[in-house]
Structure 1
């Protein structure tokens, strides 16, 4: 079932009934029904609202998103099948829920890209657009890649505890995120299965000592009300999170509409980086400057400990390679394409700064 819907504008309808005496071209508006599992607030909703405005701008009002928030169309854990089956024209997919289906995209969840969200976003977008094998793998699932988000760099917030070094991870009860949680488990933490939205209660009741998360989440989910410390790991990010479209719905678009979707999807990497980096910076500044009611100590691990964390990730990288190969992808080639892009965009950032900061 497909929902991409062309509708006539009010002016065109009025003209058709003879209520306007001047010549007006019949303007069609194509609505793309989009499913998002989260609420209509935060970094991703801000980006989706920007995306909607930008496709409208470039298509002269011909394209628009109709976003259904809060899992109204499907839950996050059902997004791949739901979009592929046409429950929506498009939607947000989190690769961590779909290790087989999103084998290529889940490369962005490994710490190969480092903690810089802009570098990770641009490298991930390059990977997803530049390899025909990935496009074909998605097409077999009736999916088309549109653009990418990131949950940003993974850090750790604690109540009644501090992680000042890697050794402090052992013995802590921790809610984890993807491979980063698995690494903490290998380093001696007791992992507790909670969603990010349940972490506040877990910290407040003592069910967990710490939770992995992202800086912008601190004020968004009010973790600052319960945590005492926040350790910046300088490690990696959850980057397999983005916009995908039902292939039948995508194929129903005109060539001009497809070109708009590709352009805005590509621009999304820069725009979302600007949004999430700004939100992270604001949250970190608030903690460092003591602007929350409860003081939060900000800690940063050393480069040597970051290297230790990366070394502990190697077995999980091997697991990812095996998984990618099992669905017919070339993991070594994907890693080469991705890490080359990381190097390219890291060099660009170091030489020129972020795109939105340039003249």
Structure 2
């Protein structure tokens, strides 16, 4: 009898091993957090494609629960830290809020940095894939990195046609890069979260904003601004969607494959195209309002802005010693 028990135990263990191997991986739900309302362009252009794509390609084995409007923490400056600490598995944010962490990545924000025919997301991924930006994303895996539409002047009771029109004005900027440009143009840069712009414009704390037209719709700035200047080379705004590296590493191979398929350059392209489309729609809406003044600068009017913009870009890159990063962004070695 003792001789029969041993094979039975071995057979039982073998069956258990087969059953464990055949068993599907446990379903996983990731938390994605951001700080803006659900109607923000980030939802339609980035969040929804990621959520829907991952669920479909994993057959529901991997899902993403979205926490908008600061539900997991309201401060936009802490978005990266929330991913790093695992408060959320995935977070969306702006490098400009913590500029010192992303000096090389934010080259894409600089005025006249994106050459004609190139996109912000391709420049960022070119440099990231070349290993030039990896140290700026510690402990996380970028799922998307992209740039906004070109920034414009969004003003209250001030028409901007030349750098002289900016003298003495307080202009809100999203980070150090546009701040340097505003200083060079003669304005006083003021940095604050996007959610505070409305009240700041309404009360006169600031005279205007340098940002993309999509922000007008996202933050209802058309209710407090009345002058818009298009055409000056004011740069762009960079965005990231990052995932806690440990959260990613804990996924099954199939779950990783579903996430990888729906992130990277493809998702970044959706983000950039979504921002540009929203900007065009918003500009049309603003132009249709007779209470607004929309100024399209001529080539002659652009020239003095262009000179300062190029000087600012070159000086910032030289100060960082980041010529190699910029070259990698443009597809060079």
Match of 1:189 among 187, 190, 193: 187
Q: 1:148 to 1:338 in 2, by over 3 A?
A: same
> Is contact 2:231–2:297 with CA below 8 Å preserved after alignment?
yes
For residue 150 of structure 1, what is the aligned residue in structure 2?
147
Q: Residue 167 of structure 1 corresponds to which residue in structure 2?
A: 164
1:48 is matched with 47
Aligned-partner Cα distance in 1 for 2:67–2:148 = 20
CA RMSD after TM alignment: 2.9
Residues 2-21 of structure 1 aligned to structure 2 (within 5 Å): none
The structure whose RCO (Cα within 8 Å, separation 6+) is larger is 2
Question: 1:221: how far off?
Answer: 2.3
Distance 1:236 1:29 in 2: 45
Change (3 A) 1:173 1:102: closer
Q: What whole-Å deviation, never above 9, does each CA across 1:21-63 have from its counterpart, x for those lacking one?
A: xxxx857432111221222221112220221001112222222
- After TM superposition, the structure 1 = structure 2 runs for residues 54-73 of structure 1, keeping only pairs within 5 Å, are 54-73=53-72
Count of aligned residue pairs for this structure pair: 306
Cα pair 1:216 1:280 within 8 Å, conserved: yes
Q: Is the 8 A contact 1:169 1:189 kept in 2?
A: yes
Tell me the TM-score normalized by structure 2.
Answer: 0.80
Name the SS of the counterpart of 2:60 in structure 1. Answer: coil
Q: Distance in 2 between matches of 1:252 and 1:31?
A: 12
Instruction: Provide the C-alpha distance between the structure 2 equivalents of 1:256 and 1:239, rounded to a whole number of angstroms.
Output: 34
Aligned partner of 2:297 in structure 1 is 301
Contact kept? 2:232, 2:305, Cα under 8 Å: no
Tell whether the 8 Å contact from 1:115 to 1:152 is kept in structure 2 after alignment.
Answer: no
Do the aligned partners of 1:150 and 1:239 also contact (CA within 8 Å) in 2? yes
Give 1:235 deviation, angstroms: 1.9
1:215 to 210, 213, 216: 213
Instruction: Classify the secondary structure of the residue corresponding to 2:305.
Output: helix
Deviation at 1:166, TM superposition (A): 2.5
Q: 1:27 to 1:81 in 2, by over 3 A?
A: closer
Matched with 2:326 is 335
1:98 alignment partner, SS class = helix
In the TM superposition, 1:87-126 aligns within 5 A as 87-114=87-114, 119-126=119-126
| Gaps in structure 2 of 5+ consecutive residues | 1-22
Higher mean alpha-carbon deviation, 142-151 vs 116-125, is at: 116-125
Match of 1:243 among 237, 241, 246: 241
* Secondary structure, aligned partner of 1:37: coil
CA distance in 1, matches of 2:312, 2:111: 13
Rounded Cα–Cα distance in structure 2 between residues aligned with 1:138 and 1:186: 27
Distance 1:76 1:228, change over 3 A: closer
Tell me the SS of whatever aligns to 2:27: strand
Counterpart of 1:10 in structure 2 is none
Partner of 1:225: 223
Q: Which runs of 5+ in 1 are unaligned?
A: 1-24, 326-330, 342-359
Verify the 8 A CA contact 2:151 2:210 in the aligned structure 1: yes
